[in-house]
Amino acid sequence: PRWKKSTVVFVLGGPGSGKGTQCANLVKHFSYTHFSAGDLLRAEIKSGSQFGAMIQSMIVDGRIVPSEITVKLLCKAMEESGNDKFLIDGFPRNEENRIVFENVANIEPAFVLFFDCPEEELERRIMSRNQGREDDNIETIKKRFKVFVESTLPIISYYESKGKLRKINAAKPSEEVFEAVKVLFAS
């Protein structure tokens, strides 16, 4: 399939760091298709999938859903999109995610965006978001932070060691963050 030769940019950052917001900005200016792994998982719950209950309980607990499920959803979304340039937001979250994606999709990212932002600011953003997400409560937020530090930061270091990391200060206002992000795609 066409997506097997795709250009992929992974978009990582703590919960509430602005991954979704900035990807929405990017698709207005560049010919990428945006997939949020979290959004795909939430859609899978709603679809009445046999894995729905399991995915739901893992999200409410801030845990990382088994790679097989997430990678399958991402590959299906890429295949159905008809595009060959993708922003994949919130994935990979741990080493297993990264390796399974590399093996199944056979794609290495062109580069990896990392939205860096202090935890207090992330907490403020999530607590004032109010979109009815079941993981947007203080108890789950603490768990999401812990999983981010323990499982996702090592992936970010991995890409840094490969020279693929593009770190953005995401604590600034959204418009300023986008100015910094845009530059990376214009070149």
Which residues of this chain interact with ligand UP5, rule CB under 6 A? Answer: 13, 15-21, 36-38, 41, 58-59, 62-65, 70, 90-91, 93, 97, 125-126, 129, 135, 144, 173-174, 177
Identified binder of Mg ion from the candidate list 20, 45, 52, 180, rule CB under 5 A: 20
Tell me whether strands 33-36 and 111-116 are parallel, antiparallel or unpaired. Answer: unpaired
In the bound complex, what is the minimum distance in angstroms from residue 121's beta carbon to ligand UP5? 8
Phi, psi of 85 (to 5 degrees): -135, 120
Which DSSP state fits 84? Answer: S
Cα distance between residue 136 and residue 19, in whole Å: 16
For the chain, counts of helices (H) and of strands (E): 9, 5
In the bound complex, what is the minimum distance in angstroms from residue 135's beta carbon to ligand UP5? 6
Q: Which residue's Cβ lies closest to ligand UP5?
A: 38
Cα distance between residue 179 and residue 181, in whole Å: 6
In the bound complex, what is the minimum distance in angstroms from residue 15's beta carbon to ligand UP5? 3
In the bound complex, what is the minimum distance in angstroms from residue 80's beta carbon to ligand UP5? 18
Segment 32 to 51, residues that bind Mg ion, using CB under 5 A = none
